[in-house]
Amino acid sequence: MPFDLLGVLAEPNRRKLLALLAEGERSVTDLAAEFAVTRSAISQHLTILVDAGLVEARQEGRFRFYRLVPGGVAALRAQIDGFWTSELDHLARTATRTASRTTRTEQGTAHMPYDKSVFVPVPPDEAFALVTEPERLRRWQVVAARVDLRAGGDYRWTVVPGHTAGGQVTEVDPGRRVVLSWGWEGDDSLPPGASTVTISLTPGDGGTFVRLVHEGLTEDQVVGHTEGWDHYLDRLVAAAADGDAGPDAWAAAPDPLDALNAAEASLAICQRALRDLDDAAGAKPTPCAEFDVNALIEHLLGSLTSMAMVAGADPSKLPAPGSPESLGARSSEAERRVADLGQVAIEAWRDRGTDGSVSMGPAEMPAELVAAILTIELLIHAWDAATATGRTITVAPELAEFGLGRLQALAAAGARTPDRFGPQVEAPADADALTRMLAFSGRRA
């Protein structure tokens, strides 16, 4: 069976490689300098072009040079000529005229899509998990995610605090392809479902090519999404190689820094503190004398449940009281439970808003101040869990200052109860905001 040369050239980086080699022989180092992807990814693309008979390589000392194969290029031309029937020619002319009219009459609505490929050193099934499963998505792209992975299923990804993408899963081919309708909550110019993201996976030598195409964007939207997708595809490569891309600098200090954006930034920090704990970690003591790690997780889940209910969350979306899902007894499941419940609690507050007041026990308190309890609980208990398990957390100074300010405001409002805070301790004069926040809550950092 003839090699599917048209399929090989469906990948844009390979088309660019052929265009560069049309100018003459070049080394892999020289070629890789023309791309934003890694040299390893370019080498993989070149291997596919060699296998297809379009390119050949020669070794000269330590260097490897590539050039076009005239016979292979001729075979490509023959496939194109055979594919390009008179009917397609007519269709192309019609489409060109239609596109020209669209550009003249609907300026800003028809533009080239974002299209980029990266190479990840994991097999296709694992790469597919990285781009579809919430637990894996949290390691490189999102603060929180919910995905109904079936055609017609909904998804909701909080990518960075205050910015949540949503829409539907429109196509699923496990290990090969997923298509999402894409848009942003609160964005009238690109609402949820208004554009299309297609992620395709192709096996390579030692890993997988991940191609992401984002269509249906205006020119300005392409510019913004290019910056975003470039950032996150780099993090995808890191997560595939190392298991985790590390803290996302874009999620560290939200702008604006309000109660709910701060809560989402704090949720990301807390999840990292709880990630990949083993069950043995559950019995370790924490800075809270009455809590080991398991009890601390149970307490935090209880706090998140209470905060969700104060905001009017639908009880059916919360774990049933007393069920295994509501307890922290299995520390290895801590991150997932806190991530899921934290997302629901913050969603409930976003639906309610932070205007007016809410009931907290016998008292009415400003809703904005009560919503800030999410940040305080998540940050302080993230530090507790990290300290107990020999880890550290990184908190942006702006976020820690926000938490400290709301903690002080709660104390001034009479919310400094023994079950909420320990006795305040003195912080060093030159202490950073997180240390001062911890000291105010009764902890010595």
Task: Tally Cβ neighbours within 10 Å of residue 219.
Answer: 12
Same domain? For 281 and 419 the reply is yes
| Mean of per-residue pLDDT scores for the chain | 87
Amino acid 242: pLDDT? 95
Domain containing 300: what range?
252-440
Rounded distance between C-alpha atoms, residue 32 and residue 310, angstroms: 55
Looking at the fold, whether 235 and 142 belong to one and the same domain comes out as yes
Are residues 226 and 336 part of one domain? no
Q: Which domain-ending residue is among 217, 242, 267?
A: 242
Tell whether 75 and 119 lie within a shared domain. Answer: no
The pLDDT of residue 327 is 46
Tell me, what CATH number does 53's domain have?
Answer: 1.10.10.10
> Within a domain: residue 86?
no
Predicted structure pTM score:
0.76
- Domain of 146: which CATH number? 3.30.530.20
Shared-domain flag, residues 235 and 260: no
Using the 3D structure, point to which of 64, 81, 98 is the last residue of a domain: 81
Give the mean pLDDT of 256-268: 97
Kindly state whether residue 407 falls inside one of the protein's structural domains.
Answer: yes
| Residue 92, in any domain of the structure | no
Instruction: Name, of 8-12, 157-161, 290-294, the range with top average pLDDT.
Output: 157-161
Question: How does pLDDT run across 171-228, given as a tens digit for each residue?
Answer: 999 999 999 999 999 999 999 999 999 999 999 889 999 999 999 999 889 989 999 9
Residue 104 lies in a domain: no
Average pLDDT for residues 25-53, to the nearest whole number?
A: 84
Q: Are residues 116 and 160 in the same domain?
A: yes
Residue 345 banded pLDDT, cuts 50, 70, 90: very high
User: Residue 100's pLDDT band (boundaries 50, 70, 90)?
Assistant: very low
In this prediction, residues 61-87 reach a mean pLDDT of 76
CATH of the domain at 382: 1.20.120.450
Q: Which residue has the higher pLDDT, 249 or 1?
A: 249
- Distance between CA atoms of 313 and 28, rounded to whole angstroms? 56
Long-range Cβ pairs for the range 174-180 (8 Å, 24+): 174/125, 174/128, 175/124, 175/125, 175/128, 175/201, 176/124, 176/128, 176/200, 176/201, 177/201, 178/128, 178/131, 178/132, 178/149, 180/155
- pLDDT of 79 reads 72
pLDDT > 80? residue 240? yes
pLDDT in tens, 212-235: 999 999 988 998 999 999 999 999
Res 277: pLDDT? 92
For the chain, the domain total comes to 3
Instruction: Name the pLDDT band for 353 (thresholds 50, 70, 90).
Output: very high
Any domain includes 377: yes
- Claim to verify: residue 232 and residue 274 sit in the same structural domain: no
pLDDT score recorded for residue 408: 93
* pLDDT band, residue 90 (cuts 50/70/90): low
In a domain, 88, yes or no: no
Are residues 371 and 336 part of one domain? yes
pLDDT for the residue 417 = 54
**399 and 425, same domain (yes or no):** yes
Q: Is residue 134 part of a domain?
A: yes
Residues 222, 290: one domain? no
In this structure, of 119-128, 360-369, 432-441, the range with the lowest mean pLDDT score is 360-369
The answer to whether residues 223 and 260 belong to one domain is no
Same-domain status, 349 and 387: yes
Q: Is the pLDDT of residue 317 over 60?
A: yes
Q: Is the pLDDT of residue 5 over 80?
A: no
- Percent of the chain, pLDDT > 70? 87
Residue 140 has pLDDT above 90, yes or no: yes
Task: Report if residue 233 sits inside a domain.
Answer: yes
